[in-house]
Amino acid sequence: MKRKTPQHIIVIGAGIVGAALAYHLASKGAKVTVVEAGGIACGVTGTSFAWLNASCAGIDPIAALRGGAIAAWRRLETQVPGLAVRWHGALSYGTQDGRVSPSCMVIERPRIAQLEPRLKQPPEQALYEAEQGAIDAVAATHALLAAAQALGATVRTHTPVRGFAVLEAKVAGVETAAGVIEADTVVLAAGTGTAALAAQLGASLPIHASPAIFLRYQAPPGLVRGIISSHAMEVRQAEDGTMLAAEDYVDDAPENQPAAMAQRTAIAIRSELEGADAIAPEFSCVGLRPMPADGVPVIGCLPQVEGAYVCAMHPGVVLAGIVGQLASGEIVDGQPASALEACRPARFLA
């Protein structure tokens, strides 16, 4: 039911998911406070490859949600000042992940060579998805939060949430070192910190920290035009010319540390791309993705207490826009979104 007075909603977490939520909630007239333990985008959003890839392998329990993800980013681009998506398309070949989407097409070597002229040995065939792109996830988080602030939201960084104020089985606010911040609703969009916060409200949510390797290189301009995802490398070139790559995490053996992976991936990139000899590792790290045990996002009200709504997911960059839109409709307008049905926290809390 729609309320007459604006709800005060606290969003815990200023990553891409919290920022998208804050923007959509503020757009709907809610009074929003974002409370962040560190700085803006200091979590895994800060080291994301940020490929807007809405394809999926096998049966997809969130097909409706994923199906709206690209359109949501296209809409946000028109609404949020400074938010830029690079719709440069993506090529995939020789990978085992089996991800496909209805709009991907098979293309042959001559077209592949046209799209990525620096590939030394373009494959005979590749999957091409023209409707895919990438964002600078940190810049996008800032842009969404700035747009939320322009609509009246407040952002409190370096303010860890330590607990909750709960009155008669209803969340009434969050506890911080500076005292309690009161709210009608609290949204847990704290990435890998979400499970610990939910546990304080009596909800045991199996959301694990899933490691992946983020790599950044200094690189000559124009090496890669879109995204290349192959058996040898997953790369794209950012607006500032740096080359970004993502790798699976193997283990913590010395040869699999991020710096070692950066050297190995550099060798692969040099052998795949003409003119890449000068690339040099600039930064590498392990990023921890919030991964629900069944791989399906956890989005919705916690059944144990009133006033607590959870938003934790992977792939969070892909889904942030559509989830911000649908979850804000549920929270502010009380309109249940059927596309979120498979995501309810209650599936873990029977």
Ligand X SMILES: Cc1cc2nc3c(=O)[nH]c(=O)nc-3n(C[C@H](O)[C@H](O)[C@H](O)COP(=O)(O)OP(=O)(O)OC[C@H]3O[C@@H](n4cnc5c(N)ncnc54)[C@H](O)[C@@H]3O)c2cc1C
Contacts to ligand X by CB under 6 A: 12-18, 35-38, 42-45, 47-51, 160-161, 189-191, 193, 197, 212-214, 246, 287, 289-290, 314-318
> Based on CB atoms, which residue is closest to ligand X, 193 or 281?
193
Query: Which of 11, 31, 28 has its CA nearest to residue 19?
Result: 11
> Based on CB atoms, which residue is closest to ligand X, 223 or 291?
291
Closest distance to ligand X from the beta carbon of 1 (Å): 29
> Based on CB atoms, which residue is closest to ligand X, 213 or 308?
213
> Based on CB atoms, which residue is closest to ligand X, 125 or 257?
257
> Based on CB atoms, which residue is closest to ligand X, 212 or 343?
212
- The backbone torsions φ and ψ at residue 244, rounded to the nearest 5 degrees and listed phi first, read -110, 145
Closest distance to ligand X from the beta carbon of 37 (Å): 4
Closest distance to ligand X from the beta carbon of 280 (Å): 19
Closest distance to ligand X from the beta carbon of 198 (Å): 11
- Contact (CB, 8 A) for 13 and 36: yes
> Based on CB atoms, which residue is closest to ligand X, 5 or 136?
136
* 3 state SS of 237: strand
> Based on CB atoms, which residue is closest to ligand X, 93 or 214?
214
CA 39-239-235 angle, to 5 degrees, is 90
Closest distance to ligand X from the beta carbon of 256 (Å): 14
Q: Rounded to 10 degrees, what is the CA torsion of 56, 25, 188, 15? A: 60
Closest distance to ligand X from the beta carbon of 277 (Å): 25
Kindly report the three-state secondary structure assignment for every residue of 22-67: HHHHHHCCCEEEEECCCCCCCCHHHHCCCEECCCECCCCCCHHHHH
Query: Which of 228, 302, 288 has its CA nearest to residue 43?
Result: 288
> Based on CB atoms, which residue is closest to ligand X, 248 or 274?
248
Peptide linkage before 6 cis (omega within 30 of 0): no
Closest distance to ligand X from the beta carbon of 46 (Å): 7
Burial class (CB in 10 A: 0-12, 13-18, 19+), 253: exposed
CA distance 166 to 328: 22
Closest distance to ligand X from the beta carbon of 131 (Å): 15
Query: Which of 66, 75, 85 has its CA nearest to residue 135?
Result: 85
Tokens of 159: 């303010």
